[in-house]
């Protein structure tokens, strides 16, 4: 299913660039290949997730989509992930993910997908809404990424674009040949002009963003909506009119304090309202982090449910008003607040872990340094992919992105 590129729509608290047609504003969660104890998920586990997601009480829409990090079933080299079986049974739409960091081949990923399509045919093909070639690879080889995790394994733009070409070639005559291809990364990876080749190569871009990790930027919960907007608007400005999907965002209900950010159920609910309800839900494809906790190494827990109960930890119903000043973001132009001030960026984003999910052992549990996102399975502690930290490298990123917001296009600066 192909999305429209640059229609704009006014909604909720203010106007912003809609990044897909109204019928394509997917609601979903992220789902890795492993559980908290690092054991593999199988069909029954995915079925439980997808069923709960679609039955959440008070939800502002039907969460009938899922973002996967790999096509490969844990404990195997190239068997199709059993999430495919569960998705077909529950009619759950799928944003596919192919793991691309630390590897010179995506053959096993493509083999697993081909096997899944052969098994399920049109039933699976019709559920696939997009394909992400990689997740936060560009961040992990950036100055900020290497500072946060010197041992992190990522991939540069030449690797990502090569894999994109390979995937398109391999599936050119398949039932998913028209499915839009994208890449997921942090906002400061997208505003970095050296990564322009990836923007040119994709149909859409995915952004991971967690204001919770914005240490040094006044990241208290009341400022979380503004921090998110700044990063999101900068990403839209850098995208050159291509659709931007929010592939990860969320707020922990328990965990360590991070700067001014405090993990709590109350704050998780507030973030759901100020970011999800005000800016994202039913407006742009959104994959929340997360429905269930699946990473025992994480120092924060993000699950909006307890043991996959359809009764969430907090009220999911959207309020009638919001505290965050609304922003206006053209998909190709300047991001500003409604008060007329230019939106300074500098909001960091999440990260995924660094371990490939495709090995035959119980792999796939990436371990990131500061974000909760995943590498094929639930990644470890939230890695700071882009969390632009308070160091010099992040300040440089912030300056560059500020210029992006002014001039309306990131790559014009490089």
Check residue 372 and give its pLDDT.
54
Which of these, 272, 235, 248, lies nearest to 411 by C-alpha position?
235
CATH number of 8-413: 3.20.20.80
Check residue 400 and give its pLDDT.
35
Cβ atoms within 10 Å of 54's Cβ, excluding its own: 17
pTM for the full model? 0.80
Distance CA 11, CA 26 (A): 16
Distance CA 357, CA 374 (A): 9
- H or E element at residue 184: strand 181-186
Q: Which residue of the set 82, 209, 214, 248 is catalytic?
A: 248
Render pLDDT for 187-241 as a digit per residue (tens, 0 to 9).
999 999 999 999 999 999 999 999 999 999 999 999 999 999 999 999 999 999 9
Q: Are 239 and 190 in contact (CB under 8 A)?
A: yes
Helices (H), 130-246: 137-140, 143-148, 157-170, 187-190, 196-201, 224-238
Check residue 62 and give its pLDDT.
97
What tokens were used for 389?
Answer: 């930290």
Check residue 298 and give its pLDDT.
83
- Greatest C-alpha distance within the chain: 54
CA 379 to chain centre: 13
Query: 3-state DSSP call for residue 384?
Result: coil
Check residue 284 and give its pLDDT.
97
Q: Which residue of the set 82, 136, 269, 378 is catalytic?
A: 136
Check residue 328 and give its pLDDT.
60
Check residue 8 and give its pLDDT.
30
Is 49 tagged catalytic? no
Check residue 374 and give its pLDDT.
52
Pick out the chain residues at pLDDT < 70: 1-23, 328-414
Distance CA 303, CA 281 (A): 18
Render pLDDT for 358-413 as a digit per residue (tens, 0 to 9).
333 222 222 233 345 554 433 333 333 333 222 223 323 333 333 333 333 332 32
Distance CA 292, CA 303 (A): 4
| C-alpha distance across the termini of the chain, in Å | 33
Is 248 tagged catalytic? yes
Q: Going by C-beta distance under 8 Å and a sequence separation of 6 or more, which residues neighbour residue 232?
A: 187, 207, 209, 244, 246, 279, 329, 347
Domain residue spans of the chain:
8-413
Check residue 384 and give its pLDDT.
35
Check residue 200 and give its pLDDT.
98
């Amino acid at each position: 299913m192909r999305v429209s590129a640059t229609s704009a729509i006014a909604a909720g608290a203010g106007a912003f660039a809609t990044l897909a047609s109204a019928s394509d504003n997917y609601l979903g969660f992220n789902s890795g290949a492993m559980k908290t104890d690092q054991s593999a998920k199988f069909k029954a586990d995915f079925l439980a997730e997808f069923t709960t997601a679609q039955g959440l009480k008070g939800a502002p829409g039907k969460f009938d989509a899922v973002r996967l990090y790999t096509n490969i079933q844990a404990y195997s080299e190239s068997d199709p992930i059993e999430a495919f079986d569960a998705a077909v049974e529950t009619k759950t739409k799928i944003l596919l993910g192919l793991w691309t960091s630390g590897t010179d081949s995506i053959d096993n990923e493509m083999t697993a997908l081909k096997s899944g399509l052969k098994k399920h045919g049109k039933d699976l093909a019709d559920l696939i809404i997009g394909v992400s070639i990689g997740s936060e690879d560009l961040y992990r080889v950036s100055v900020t990424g290497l500072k946060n995790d010197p041992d992190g394994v990522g991939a540069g733009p030449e690797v990502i674009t090569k894999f994109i070409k390979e995937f398109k070639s391999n599936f050119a005559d398949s039932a998913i040949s028209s499915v839009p291809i994208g890449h997921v990364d942090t906002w400061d990876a997208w505003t970095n002009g050296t990564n322009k080749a990836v923007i040119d190569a994709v149909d859409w871009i995915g952004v991971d963003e967690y204001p919770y990790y914005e240490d040094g930027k006044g990241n208290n919960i009341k400022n979380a909506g503004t921090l998110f907007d700044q990063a999101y608007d900068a990403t839209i400005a850098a995208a050159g009119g291509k659709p931007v999907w929010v592939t990860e965002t969320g707020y922990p209900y328990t965990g360590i304090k991070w700067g001014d950010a405090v993990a709590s159920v109350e704050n998780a609910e507030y973030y759901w309202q100020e970011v999800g309800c005000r800016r994202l839900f039913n407006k742009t494809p959104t994959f929340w982090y997360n429905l269930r906790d699946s990473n025992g190494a994480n120092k924060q827990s993000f699950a909006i449910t307890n043991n996959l109960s359809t009764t969430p930890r907090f009220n999911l119903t959207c309020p009638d008003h919001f505290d965050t000043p609304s922003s206006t973001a053209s998909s190709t132009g300047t991001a500003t607040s409604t008060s007329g001030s230019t939106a300074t960026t500098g909001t960091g984003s999440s990260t995924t872990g660094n371990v490939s999910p495709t090995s035959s052992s119980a792999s796939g549990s990436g371990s990131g340094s500061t974000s909760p996102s995943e590498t094929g399975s639930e990644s470890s502690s939230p890695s700071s992919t882009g969390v632009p930290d308070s160091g010099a490298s992040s300040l440089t990123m912030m300056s560059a992105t500020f210029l992006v917001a002014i001039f309306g296009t990131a790559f014009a600066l490089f």
